[in-house]
Amino acid sequence: MNHVNKLRPATARRSSALKGDIRIPGDKSISHRSFMFGGLARGETRITGLLEGEDVINTGKAMQAMGASVRKEGDTWIVTGTGNGCLLAPEAPLDFGNAGTGCRLTMGLVGVYDFDSTFIGDASLSRRPMGRVLNPLREMGVQVKSEPGDRLPVTLHGPATPAPITYRVPMASAQVKSAVLLAGLNTPGVTTVIEPVMTRDHTEKMLRGFGADLEVETDADGVRTIRLIGQGELTGQVIDVPGDPSSTAFPLVAALLVPGSEILIRNVLMNPTRTGLIQTLQEMGGDIEILDARLAGGEDVADLRVRGSSLRGVTVPPDRAPSMIDEYPVLAVAASFAEGETVMHGLEELRVKESDRLAAVARGLELNGVDCTEGEDWLTVRGRPDGKGLGNAKGEAVVTHLDHRIAMSFLVMGLVSEHPVTVDDSAIIATSFPEFMDLMTGLGATIAARDE
């Protein structure tokens, strides 16, 4: 999907107390994997709660282009897979739009097949580094054609027999871990991934659910060794996707910041590899009650009651980054209204997200009057609890760089700033959270988009 020609600026203004009872759309990571594993497994996979954002829909289209059938009946997506090892050669380039997860995981999934597959994406995805996935695939025998710096478009061609590898993931990345494991699915023997720092574990959990022969060992230092026996059978599953904690972050922070708010957010995924933001906001004094914690489809899920709170600055340790990697932009917004200083460490991976998120956040904060300092891999924000002077009275817009989370984070900021906050584009929000505007205005937020 190409948003370059249809920017849709939006402005958020100081709002009165947010109230309501909401359900957040399905988790993006689990939704991508549901389409991928369903499309690969033998038989039918039935998915409810799927996130119908552009990123996930592009993954569904890619699986269709490789032989899976994908259709929707009522609220249920029904995927009929090809069977493991039986993907077909896509006839046209696979277009992943804005989605790093869709693109990188599918590179692993199909890259080891003995045919050509070509990967393209939007301007943001075309700037992102693919070498982190292409390098282990090269070790498995995959031929790679790519643009300089291993950028898209990329064409892969697997060997007659891929080689199983042992791969130590050099950065904290669930996408890299997952790409190697998915390549291992169509590789004879044992593919081993060593993960020094634990990242989201949806691939491991879900592959086991589909019947893959996969085991995980964690040593005393927390280093995980994941072994997958390739070329086994995968069988279709029934999946109910829980609400996305990364999307939850926006109404959650909004309700903490807008005085007098009280909202209930239902059915939120609480997998411990995803809850770093909630922990951090609680440490800052945020009133977040975790209700009815339960297990659903093998995942931790809960409802969250969130009330307007006075926040104070904290230091967020680097080892928390993997469990809240997508939440730093909105945490920086929360920190802008906290008493004192918030220091965030271990942010190097933010440089290679949908935008250079560390720079995009720092520029956006500065434009809206926040006192902050950007380091190579850290950010310090000095807050102003009353929001006085924050926002941009001249209406100058935050540059979102085709990054949905930058857009949503700064719209949350506008709800509590003295002056309005404008973002140059809100259309990109549809990649991960198409319901964002309606859901926020339904809670009482004053946000409006305008077409240019």
Query: Closest distance between ligand S3P and the C-beta of residue 59, in Å?
Result: 11
User: How many residues bind to ligand S3P according to rule CB under 6 A?
Assistant: 10
Residues with Cβ within 8 Å of 56's Cβ and at least 6 positions away in sequence, in order, are 28, 31, 32, 35, 50, 99, 102
Query: Closest distance between ligand S3P and the C-beta of residue 256, in Å?
Result: 22
Nearer to ligand S3P, 223 or 449 (CB): 223
Nearer to ligand S3P, 51 or 79 (CB): 51
- The answer to the question of residue 84 lying near ligand S3P (CB under 6 A) is no
Binding mask 367-406 for ligand S3P (x = CB under 6 A): ----------------------------------------
Task: Flag whether 42 is marked binding.
Answer: no
Q: Is 92 exposed, middle or buried (0-12, 13-18, 19+ CB in 10 A)?
A: exposed
Is there a contact between 281 and 255 (Cβ–Cβ < 8 Å)? no
Closest by CA position to 29, among listed 59, 68, 9: 59
Binding mask 323-342 for ligand S3P (x = CB under 6 A): --xx----------------
Spatial separation of the C-alpha atoms in residues 270 and 300, rounded to whole Å: 5
Nearer to ligand S3P, 110 or 390 (CB): 110
Binding mask 96-125 for ligand S3P (x = CB under 6 A): -----x------------------------
Q: Strand 94-95's sheet: what is its strand order? A: 94-95, 116-120, 151-157, 143-147
Spatial separation of the C-alpha atoms in residues 205 and 296, rounded to whole Å: 13
Nearer to ligand S3P, 127 or 312 (CB): 127
Spatial separation of the C-alpha atoms in residues 197 and 173, rounded to whole Å: 9
Give me the DSSP letters along 328-344.
Answer: HHHHHHHHTTSBSEEEE
386 counts as catalytic: no
- The answer to the question of residue 175 lying near ligand S3P (CB under 6 A) is yes
- Residues 152-171 touching ligand S3P, rule: CB under 6 A, are none
Q: Which amino acid is at 374?
A: E
Query: Closest distance between ligand S3P and the C-beta of residue 27, in Å?
Result: 9
Residue with token string 């027999």: 161
- Residues 11-40 touching ligand S3P, rule: CB under 6 A, are 29
Catalytic residue among 55, 244, 303, 326: 326
- The answer to the question of residue 173 lying near ligand S3P (CB under 6 A) is yes
Is there a contact between 253 and 225 (Cβ–Cβ < 8 Å)? no
| Residues found near ligand S3P in the complex (CB under 6 A) | 29, 101, 173-175, 178, 200, 325-326, 349
Give catalytic residue positions. 326
